[in-house]
Structure 1
Amino acid sequence: MSLSSMWRWRRPRAERRYPDPLTAHQLWMVSLSAPVSRDRSASRTTLYPFTRIDDDSARSWLAEQWEITSREVLVGRLDGLSRSGYRARAQQLLGVSTLAWDAALYVDIARLGFGCGMITEAETWTALKNIVPSVVRTYGSWREYADHYLLGRTVWRDGLRGTQDAAAPAPQSAADAHLSALLDPANRASPWNLAPWDTISHPDRAR
Protein backbone atom coordinates (compact mmCIF):
# COMPACT_ATOMS: atom_id res chain seq x y z
CA MET A 1 0.00 0.00 0.00
CA SER A 2 1.38 3.45 -0.93
CA LEU A 3 1.86 6.21 1.61
CA SER A 4 -0.98 8.19 0.06
CA SER A 5 -3.30 5.19 0.34
CA MET A 6 -2.29 4.64 3.97
CA TRP A 7 -2.97 8.28 4.75
CA ARG A 8 -6.38 8.11 3.05
CA TRP A 9 -7.45 5.14 5.14
CA ARG A 10 -6.42 6.95 8.33
CA ARG A 11 -8.91 9.73 7.63
CA PRO A 12 -12.21 9.58 9.58
CA ARG A 13 -15.19 8.07 7.81
CA ALA A 14 -17.74 10.53 6.44
CA GLU A 15 -20.42 9.19 8.79
CA ARG A 16 -18.42 10.42 11.79
CA ARG A 17 -18.75 14.03 10.61
CA TYR A 18 -22.28 13.51 9.24
CA PRO A 19 -23.84 10.82 11.46
CA ASP A 20 -27.49 11.33 10.49
CA PRO A 21 -28.53 8.78 7.84
CA LEU A 22 -30.10 10.11 4.68
CA THR A 23 -33.85 9.91 4.28
CA ALA A 24 -35.26 7.92 1.37
CA HIS A 25 -35.64 11.06 -0.77
CA GLN A 26 -32.17 12.30 0.09
CA LEU A 27 -30.60 8.98 -0.86
CA TRP A 28 -32.52 9.02 -4.16
CA MET A 29 -31.21 12.49 -4.99
CA VAL A 30 -27.62 11.57 -4.09
CA SER A 31 -28.03 8.43 -6.22
CA LEU A 32 -28.43 10.53 -9.36
CA SER A 33 -24.63 10.89 -9.31
CA ALA A 34 -23.97 7.16 -8.78
CA PRO A 35 -22.88 6.56 -12.41
CA VAL A 36 -20.20 9.24 -12.36
CA SER A 37 -17.56 7.95 -9.97
CA ARG A 38 -16.35 4.38 -10.09
CA ASP A 39 -13.56 5.04 -7.59
CA ARG A 40 -13.59 2.95 -4.41
CA SER A 41 -13.23 6.12 -2.34
CA ALA A 42 -16.57 7.49 -3.58
CA SER A 43 -19.57 7.40 -1.28
CA ARG A 44 -22.99 6.74 -2.76
CA THR A 45 -24.99 6.84 0.48
CA THR A 46 -23.93 10.19 1.99
CA LEU A 47 -24.17 13.74 0.76
CA TYR A 48 -20.43 14.01 1.36
CA PRO A 49 -18.81 12.69 -1.85
CA PHE A 50 -16.20 10.37 -0.30
CA THR A 51 -16.35 7.52 2.17
CA ARG A 52 -13.64 9.25 4.22
CA ILE A 53 -13.21 12.95 4.91
CA ASP A 54 -10.99 14.40 2.20
CA ASP A 55 -11.92 18.02 1.54
CA ASP A 56 -8.66 18.63 -0.36
CA SER A 57 -9.48 15.93 -2.93
CA ALA A 58 -12.91 17.49 -3.51
CA ARG A 59 -11.28 20.87 -4.07
CA SER A 60 -8.58 19.44 -6.35
CA TRP A 61 -11.07 17.47 -8.45
CA LEU A 62 -13.21 20.55 -9.07
CA ALA A 63 -10.15 22.61 -10.02
CA GLU A 64 -8.48 20.02 -12.26
CA GLN A 65 -11.52 18.50 -13.97
CA TRP A 66 -13.87 21.48 -14.11
CA GLU A 67 -11.68 24.57 -13.56
CA ILE A 68 -13.91 25.43 -10.60
CA THR A 69 -11.92 27.34 -8.00
CA SER A 70 -14.55 29.56 -6.38
CA ARG A 71 -18.14 29.54 -5.24
CA GLU A 72 -19.14 31.86 -8.07
CA VAL A 73 -17.72 29.58 -10.75
CA LEU A 74 -19.35 26.55 -9.10
CA VAL A 75 -22.78 28.18 -9.05
CA GLY A 76 -22.38 29.20 -12.69
CA ARG A 77 -21.39 25.68 -13.72
CA LEU A 78 -24.40 24.19 -11.93
CA ASP A 79 -26.68 26.72 -13.59
CA GLY A 80 -25.28 25.82 -17.01
CA LEU A 81 -25.79 22.09 -16.46
CA SER A 82 -29.34 22.63 -15.22
CA ARG A 83 -30.29 24.79 -18.21
CA SER A 84 -28.63 23.04 -21.16
CA GLY A 85 -25.40 21.24 -20.34
CA TYR A 86 -24.24 18.65 -22.87
CA ARG A 87 -27.75 17.57 -23.86
CA ALA A 88 -28.08 20.27 -26.52
CA ARG A 89 -25.28 18.60 -28.50
CA ALA A 90 -26.81 15.17 -27.91
CA GLN A 91 -30.15 16.45 -29.20
CA GLN A 92 -28.41 17.77 -32.32
CA LEU A 93 -26.45 14.58 -32.98
CA LEU A 94 -28.83 11.87 -31.75
CA GLY A 95 -32.22 13.52 -31.61
CA VAL A 96 -32.29 12.70 -27.89
CA SER A 97 -31.89 15.07 -24.95
CA THR A 98 -29.61 13.15 -22.57
CA LEU A 99 -30.64 14.88 -19.37
CA ALA A 100 -29.31 11.99 -17.26
CA TRP A 101 -25.68 12.76 -18.16
CA ASP A 102 -26.09 16.41 -17.15
CA ALA A 103 -28.05 15.53 -14.01
CA ALA A 104 -25.40 13.06 -12.85
CA LEU A 105 -22.63 15.63 -13.37
CA TYR A 106 -24.75 18.33 -11.72
CA VAL A 107 -25.26 16.30 -8.54
CA ASP A 108 -21.64 15.15 -8.49
CA ILE A 109 -20.33 18.72 -8.78
CA ALA A 110 -22.75 19.97 -6.14
CA ARG A 111 -21.60 17.25 -3.71
CA LEU A 112 -17.94 18.06 -4.39
CA GLY A 113 -18.70 21.74 -3.82
CA PHE A 114 -20.20 20.81 -0.47
CA GLY A 115 -17.25 18.53 0.24
CA CYS A 116 -14.76 21.38 0.00
CA GLY A 117 -16.96 24.03 1.63
CA MET A 118 -17.84 26.13 -1.42
CA ILE A 119 -21.54 25.68 -0.66
CA THR A 120 -23.31 24.73 2.56
CA GLU A 121 -25.18 21.52 3.26
CA ALA A 122 -28.52 23.35 3.02
CA GLU A 123 -27.53 24.95 -0.29
CA THR A 124 -26.48 21.57 -1.66
CA TRP A 125 -29.82 19.97 -0.83
CA THR A 126 -31.59 22.92 -2.45
CA ALA A 127 -29.49 22.45 -5.59
CA LEU A 128 -30.29 18.72 -5.72
CA LYS A 129 -34.01 19.37 -5.21
CA ASN A 130 -33.97 21.80 -8.13
CA ILE A 131 -32.96 19.08 -10.62
CA VAL A 132 -35.50 16.49 -9.42
CA PRO A 133 -38.66 17.67 -11.27
CA SER A 134 -37.06 17.59 -14.73
CA VAL A 135 -35.49 14.17 -14.07
CA VAL A 136 -38.77 12.67 -12.84
CA ARG A 137 -40.65 14.09 -15.83
CA THR A 138 -38.12 12.62 -18.24
CA TYR A 139 -37.50 9.08 -16.92
CA GLY A 140 -39.53 6.27 -15.46
CA SER A 141 -36.81 4.00 -14.12
CA TRP A 142 -33.16 3.82 -13.18
CA ARG A 143 -32.60 1.76 -16.32
CA GLU A 144 -33.91 4.55 -18.54
CA TYR A 145 -31.76 7.00 -16.61
CA ALA A 146 -28.72 4.74 -17.05
CA ASP A 147 -29.32 4.34 -20.79
CA HIS A 148 -29.44 8.10 -21.33
CA TYR A 149 -26.42 8.61 -19.09
CA LEU A 150 -24.42 6.29 -21.35
CA LEU A 151 -25.68 8.05 -24.48
CA GLY A 152 -24.62 11.38 -23.03
CA ARG A 153 -21.24 9.98 -22.09
CA THR A 154 -20.74 8.72 -25.65
CA VAL A 155 -21.47 12.18 -27.07
CA TRP A 156 -19.11 13.75 -24.54
CA ARG A 157 -16.31 11.28 -25.38
CA ASP A 158 -16.75 11.90 -29.10
CA GLY A 159 -16.44 15.62 -28.45
CA LEU A 160 -12.99 15.06 -26.91
CA ARG A 161 -11.51 13.55 -30.06
CA GLY A 162 -8.52 15.49 -31.27
CA THR A 163 -8.07 17.31 -27.94
CA GLN A 164 -5.40 16.86 -25.29
CA ASP A 165 -8.06 15.29 -23.03
CA ALA A 166 -9.00 12.59 -25.53
CA ALA A 167 -7.15 9.83 -23.67
CA ALA A 168 -8.36 10.84 -20.20
CA PRO A 169 -11.78 9.15 -19.89
CA ALA A 170 -12.10 5.53 -18.88
CA PRO A 171 -13.09 3.10 -21.65
CA GLN A 172 -16.80 2.84 -22.42
CA SER A 173 -16.65 -0.78 -21.29
CA ALA A 174 -15.80 0.40 -17.76
CA ALA A 175 -18.82 2.70 -17.69
CA ASP A 176 -21.02 -0.10 -19.06
CA ALA A 177 -19.85 -2.50 -16.35
CA HIS A 178 -20.38 0.07 -13.61
CA LEU A 179 -23.95 0.79 -14.75
CA SER A 180 -24.67 -2.93 -15.00
CA ALA A 181 -23.56 -3.37 -11.38
CA LEU A 182 -25.77 -0.49 -10.23
CA LEU A 183 -28.76 -2.02 -12.04
CA ASP A 184 -28.14 -5.57 -10.83
CA PRO A 185 -31.06 -6.48 -8.54
CA ALA A 186 -28.77 -8.81 -6.58
CA ASN A 187 -26.36 -5.98 -5.73
CA ARG A 188 -27.35 -5.04 -2.19
CA ALA A 189 -24.81 -2.22 -2.12
CA SER A 190 -26.31 -0.44 -5.13
CA PRO A 191 -28.00 2.80 -4.06
CA TRP A 192 -30.48 2.25 -6.88
CA ASN A 193 -31.68 -0.87 -5.07
CA LEU A 194 -31.68 0.92 -1.72
CA ALA A 195 -33.72 3.78 -3.22
CA PRO A 196 -35.85 2.42 -6.10
CA TRP A 197 -36.94 4.85 -8.80
CA ASP A 198 -40.46 5.40 -7.45
CA THR A 199 -39.10 6.35 -4.01
CA ILE A 200 -39.09 10.03 -4.93
CA SER A 201 -42.78 9.88 -5.88
CA HIS A 202 -43.88 8.73 -2.40
CA PRO A 203 -43.77 10.60 0.92
CA ASP A 204 -40.28 10.86 2.38
CA ARG A 205 -39.34 8.56 5.24
CA ALA A 206 -36.44 7.66 7.48
CA ARG A 207 -34.30 4.74 6.38
Structure 2
Amino acid sequence: MGLWRWRRRGPKAARRYPVPLTMHQLWMVSLSAPVSRDRGASRTTLYPFVRIDEEGARRRLAEQWEITSRAQLTGRLDELSRSGYRARAYRLTGVAPLAWDAALYVDIARRGFACGLITESDAWTALKNIVPAVAGTYGSWQEYADHYLLGRRVWRDGLRGRTPDSGSPARQEAADAHLQALLDPANRASPWNMAPWDAISHPDRTL
Protein backbone atom coordinates (compact mmCIF):
# COMPACT_ATOMS: atom_id res chain seq x y z
CA MET A 1 0.00 0.00 0.00
CA GLY A 2 2.77 2.44 0.92
CA LEU A 3 4.59 1.92 -2.38
CA TRP A 4 1.39 2.37 -4.36
CA ARG A 5 0.59 5.62 -2.58
CA TRP A 6 4.13 6.92 -3.21
CA ARG A 7 3.92 6.27 -6.94
CA ARG A 8 0.48 7.84 -7.18
CA ARG A 9 1.94 11.25 -6.34
CA GLY A 10 3.49 11.55 -9.76
CA PRO A 11 6.82 11.56 -11.57
CA LYS A 12 10.05 12.93 -10.19
CA ALA A 13 9.97 16.71 -10.00
CA ALA A 14 13.45 16.94 -11.54
CA ARG A 15 12.02 15.70 -14.83
CA ARG A 16 9.63 18.63 -15.01
CA TYR A 17 12.11 21.19 -13.63
CA PRO A 18 15.54 19.98 -14.82
CA VAL A 19 17.45 23.28 -14.70
CA PRO A 20 19.98 23.20 -11.82
CA LEU A 21 19.86 25.98 -9.26
CA THR A 22 22.50 28.63 -8.87
CA MET A 23 24.25 29.05 -5.54
CA HIS A 24 22.05 32.02 -4.62
CA GLN A 25 18.90 30.12 -5.53
CA LEU A 26 19.92 27.15 -3.40
CA TRP A 27 20.68 29.50 -0.50
CA MET A 28 17.21 31.02 -0.75
CA VAL A 29 15.49 27.63 -0.97
CA SER A 30 17.56 26.48 2.02
CA LEU A 31 15.89 29.03 4.24
CA SER A 32 12.95 26.62 4.48
CA ALA A 33 15.13 23.55 5.14
CA PRO A 34 14.17 23.45 8.86
CA VAL A 35 10.50 23.12 7.88
CA SER A 36 11.11 20.42 5.26
CA ARG A 37 11.15 17.34 7.47
CA ASP A 38 8.51 15.30 5.64
CA ARG A 39 9.39 12.12 3.83
CA GLY A 40 9.60 12.97 0.16
CA ALA A 41 10.47 16.63 0.77
CA SER A 42 13.13 18.26 -1.37
CA ARG A 43 15.47 20.73 0.30
CA THR A 44 17.60 21.54 -2.77
CA THR A 45 15.01 22.54 -5.40
CA LEU A 46 12.38 25.25 -5.68
CA TYR A 47 9.76 22.51 -6.00
CA PRO A 48 9.17 21.36 -2.40
CA PHE A 49 8.83 17.63 -3.12
CA VAL A 50 11.00 14.99 -4.77
CA ARG A 51 7.95 13.93 -6.78
CA ILE A 52 5.17 16.05 -8.27
CA ASP A 53 2.45 16.37 -5.64
CA GLU A 54 0.17 19.29 -6.43
CA GLU A 55 -2.61 17.95 -4.23
CA GLY A 56 -0.28 17.53 -1.25
CA ALA A 57 0.89 21.14 -1.53
CA ARG A 58 -2.67 22.40 -1.94
CA ARG A 59 -3.92 20.38 1.03
CA ARG A 60 -1.18 21.57 3.38
CA LEU A 61 -1.73 25.22 2.49
CA ALA A 62 -5.47 24.85 3.07
CA GLU A 63 -5.28 22.82 6.29
CA GLN A 64 -2.41 24.60 8.01
CA TRP A 65 -2.74 28.12 6.65
CA GLU A 66 -6.30 28.40 5.29
CA ILE A 67 -4.80 29.40 1.96
CA THR A 68 -6.87 28.42 -1.07
CA SER A 69 -6.30 31.36 -3.41
CA ARG A 70 -3.48 33.47 -4.78
CA ALA A 71 -4.73 36.51 -2.85
CA GLN A 72 -4.67 34.60 0.44
CA LEU A 73 -1.18 33.31 -0.28
CA THR A 74 0.27 36.70 -1.14
CA GLY A 75 -1.45 38.19 1.90
CA ARG A 76 0.10 35.59 4.19
CA LEU A 77 3.55 36.13 2.68
CA ASP A 78 3.21 39.88 3.20
CA GLU A 79 2.18 39.34 6.84
CA LEU A 80 5.12 37.02 7.52
CA SER A 81 7.58 39.43 5.92
CA ARG A 82 6.30 42.40 7.95
CA SER A 83 5.74 40.96 11.42
CA GLY A 84 4.70 37.30 11.50
CA TYR A 85 5.16 35.35 14.72
CA ARG A 86 8.23 37.33 15.74
CA ALA A 87 6.09 40.18 17.03
CA ARG A 88 4.56 37.89 19.65
CA ALA A 89 7.94 36.29 20.35
CA TYR A 90 9.42 39.71 21.02
CA ARG A 91 6.70 40.52 23.56
CA LEU A 92 7.42 37.24 25.37
CA THR A 93 11.20 36.96 25.08
CA GLY A 94 12.56 40.34 24.03
CA VAL A 95 13.93 38.72 20.85
CA ALA A 96 12.32 38.82 17.40
CA PRO A 97 13.27 35.53 15.68
CA LEU A 98 13.04 36.44 12.00
CA ALA A 99 14.33 32.97 11.04
CA TRP A 100 11.09 31.25 12.05
CA ASP A 101 8.99 33.58 9.89
CA ALA A 102 11.49 33.42 7.02
CA ALA A 103 11.44 29.61 6.98
CA LEU A 104 7.64 29.57 6.92
CA TYR A 105 7.60 32.31 4.28
CA VAL A 106 9.83 30.35 1.89
CA ASP A 107 7.97 27.10 2.59
CA ILE A 108 4.61 28.71 1.76
CA ALA A 109 5.97 30.31 -1.41
CA ARG A 110 7.37 26.96 -2.59
CA ARG A 111 4.10 25.16 -1.90
CA GLY A 112 2.16 27.91 -3.62
CA PHE A 113 4.29 27.33 -6.69
CA ALA A 114 3.86 23.56 -6.39
CA CYS A 115 0.07 23.77 -6.52
CA GLY A 116 -0.12 26.52 -9.14
CA LEU A 117 -1.25 29.45 -7.02
CA ILE A 118 1.83 31.39 -8.16
CA THR A 119 4.22 30.92 -11.06
CA GLU A 120 7.82 29.82 -10.81
CA SER A 121 8.89 33.39 -11.54
CA ASP A 122 6.59 34.71 -8.81
CA ALA A 123 8.06 32.23 -6.34
CA TRP A 124 11.63 33.32 -7.05
CA THR A 125 10.60 36.97 -6.70
CA ALA A 126 9.04 36.21 -3.32
CA LEU A 127 12.19 34.44 -2.14
CA LYS A 128 14.41 37.30 -3.29
CA ASN A 129 12.27 39.77 -1.35
CA ILE A 130 13.11 38.11 1.99
CA VAL A 131 16.87 37.88 1.39
CA PRO A 132 17.96 41.39 2.48
CA ALA A 133 16.30 41.12 5.89
CA VAL A 134 17.60 37.61 6.59
CA ALA A 135 21.13 38.19 5.31
CA GLY A 136 21.32 41.42 7.27
CA THR A 137 20.16 39.81 10.50
CA TYR A 138 22.27 36.66 10.73
CA GLY A 139 25.90 35.78 10.13
CA SER A 140 25.69 31.99 9.91
CA TRP A 141 23.34 29.06 9.50
CA GLN A 142 23.92 28.35 13.20
CA GLU A 143 22.53 31.76 14.17
CA TYR A 144 19.64 31.23 11.78
CA ALA A 145 18.94 27.79 13.30
CA ASP A 146 19.06 29.17 16.85
CA HIS A 147 16.45 31.81 16.08
CA TYR A 148 14.34 29.32 14.15
CA LEU A 149 14.19 27.11 17.24
CA LEU A 150 13.35 30.09 19.45
CA GLY A 151 10.48 31.06 17.19
CA ARG A 152 9.31 27.48 17.04
CA ARG A 153 9.26 27.18 20.82
CA VAL A 154 7.11 30.30 21.12
CA TRP A 155 4.75 28.92 18.48
CA ARG A 156 4.64 25.51 20.15
CA ASP A 157 3.90 27.04 23.55
CA GLY A 158 0.92 28.75 21.96
CA LEU A 159 -0.44 25.33 21.00
CA ARG A 160 -0.42 23.99 24.53
CA GLY A 161 -3.88 23.29 25.77
CA ARG A 162 -5.06 22.74 22.19
CA THR A 163 -2.72 20.10 20.75
CA PRO A 164 -0.99 17.34 22.79
CA ASP A 165 2.74 17.76 22.18
CA SER A 166 3.41 14.02 22.30
CA GLY A 167 1.12 13.24 19.38
CA SER A 168 1.53 16.30 17.18
CA PRO A 169 3.95 17.17 14.39
CA ALA A 170 5.25 19.91 16.69
CA ARG A 171 7.50 17.64 18.78
CA GLN A 172 10.59 19.64 19.72
CA GLU A 173 12.88 16.60 19.70
CA ALA A 174 12.24 16.02 16.01
CA ALA A 175 12.93 19.66 15.16
CA ASP A 176 16.14 19.65 17.20
CA ALA A 177 17.42 16.48 15.53
CA HIS A 178 16.59 17.76 12.07
CA LEU A 179 18.44 21.02 12.65
CA GLN A 180 21.47 19.20 14.03
CA ALA A 181 21.58 17.11 10.86
CA LEU A 182 21.41 20.25 8.71
CA LEU A 183 24.26 21.82 10.69
CA ASP A 184 26.44 18.70 10.74
CA PRO A 185 29.53 19.53 8.60
CA ALA A 186 29.82 15.84 7.69
CA ASN A 187 26.32 15.78 6.20
CA ARG A 188 26.96 16.11 2.47
CA ALA A 189 23.23 16.08 1.75
CA SER A 190 22.60 19.20 3.83
CA PRO A 191 21.79 22.23 1.65
CA TRP A 192 23.43 24.38 4.32
CA ASN A 193 26.74 22.69 3.54
CA MET A 194 26.16 22.97 -0.21
CA ALA A 195 25.38 26.69 0.06
CA PRO A 196 27.44 28.23 2.90
CA TRP A 197 25.91 31.23 4.63
CA ASP A 198 28.30 33.76 3.09
CA ALA A 199 27.56 32.49 -0.44
CA ILE A 200 24.69 34.96 -0.75
CA SER A 201 27.19 37.82 -0.32
CA HIS A 202 29.37 36.69 -3.23
CA PRO A 203 28.73 36.67 -6.99
CA ASP A 204 26.25 33.99 -8.01
CA ARG A 205 27.30 30.89 -9.93
CA THR A 206 25.72 27.75 -11.32
CA LEU A 207 26.16 24.64 -9.23
Q: Name the TM-score, length of structure 2 as normaliser.
A: 0.96
1:98 corresponds to which letter in structure 2? Answer: P
Partner of 2:174: 174
Q: Give the Å deviation of 1:164.
A: 5.0
In 2, the alpha carbon distance for the partners of 1:64 and 1:19 equals: 30
What is the match of residue 48 of structure 1? 47
**How many residues get paired?**
205
Query: Who is 1:193 aligned against?
Result: 193
- State the alpha-carbon separation in 1 of the partners of residues 92 and 179 from structure 2: 23
> Could you tell me how far 1:170 is from its partner in structure 2?
3.0
- The answer on whether the counterparts of 1:49 and 1:115 sit within 8 Å (CA) in structure 2 is yes
Structure 1 residue 162 displacement after superposition: 1.9
2:203 aligned residue: 203
For structure 1, the 5+ residue unaligned runs are none
Unaligned runs of 5+ in 2: none
Residue 5 of structure 1: how far off its partner (Å): 2.9
SS across alignment from 1:126 = helix
- C-alpha RMSD over aligned residues: 1.2
Cα distance per residue 1:155-184 (max 9 Å; x no partner): 000011222586533310110000000000
Once the two structures are superposed, the pairs formed by residues 103-182 of structure 1 within 5 Å of their partners are 103-164=102-163, 168-182=168-182
Q: TM-score, normalised by structure 1?
A: 0.96
Give the CA deviation at 1:64: 0.8
Q: Distance in 1 between matches of 2:159 and 2:97?
A: 17
Q: Percent identity?
A: 75
Tell me the equivalent position of 1:36. 35
Instruction: Check the 8 A contact 2:57/2:111 in 1, yes or no.
Output: yes
Q: Please give the secondary structure, in 1, of the residue aligned with 2:59.
A: helix
Q: Give 3-state SS (helix, strand or coil) of 1:181's partner.
A: helix
Query: Where has structure 1 moved over 4 Å in runs of 4 or more?
Result: 164-167
